[in-house]
């Protein structure tokens, strides 16, 4: 992700971006990759939705119970933001 973000250019028109991460719910594990990604995107000039974290049951996954539905709902909530900016003139 860091490499991809380092090559990303400032958008020429308003673009809304979204970021998320997955995490284990274990003691001594804290922080959010999504918050760091959001900071980088904002510095580049993107409008960025609030970051979201989804819980996984183990390092390789899967998502914890109920998280897939939350992820779908979150994704659906992003559509109006993208539709609103898609029709703007360049």
- What pLDDT does residue 25 have? 78
Burial class (CB in 10 A: 0-12, 13-18, 19+), 38: buried
**Cα angle 72, 76, 81; round to 5:** 145
Taking the CA of residue 18 as centre, how many other CA atoms within 13 Å lie in the half-sphere pointing to its CB?
Answer: 13
Give the pTM: 0.73
pLDDT tens profile 9-56: 999 998 999 999 998 877 666 778 999 999 999 999 999 999 999 999
- Residue 90 in this model has a pLDDT that exceeds 50: no
Using CA atoms, how far residue 2 sits from 10, 18, 56, 62, 82, in Å, is 16, 15, 22, 24, 24
> For residue 56, what are the β-bridge partners?
63
- What pLDDT does residue 31 have? 78
> Would you list the domain boundaries of the chain?
2-86
- What pLDDT does residue 26 have? 72
- What pLDDT does residue 61 have? 85
């Amino acid at each position: 992700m860091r490499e991809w973000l380092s090559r990303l250019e400032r958008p020429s028109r308003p673009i809304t971006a979204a970021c998320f991460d997955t995490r284990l719910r274990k003691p001594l594990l804290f922080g959010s990759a999504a918050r760091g990604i959001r900071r980088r995107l904002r510095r580049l000039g993107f409008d960025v939705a609030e970051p979201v974290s989804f819980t996984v049951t183990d390092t390789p996954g899967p998502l914890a119970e109920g998280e897939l539905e939350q992820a779908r709902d979150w994704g659906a909530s992003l559509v109006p933001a993208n539709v609103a900016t898609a029709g703007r003139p360049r």
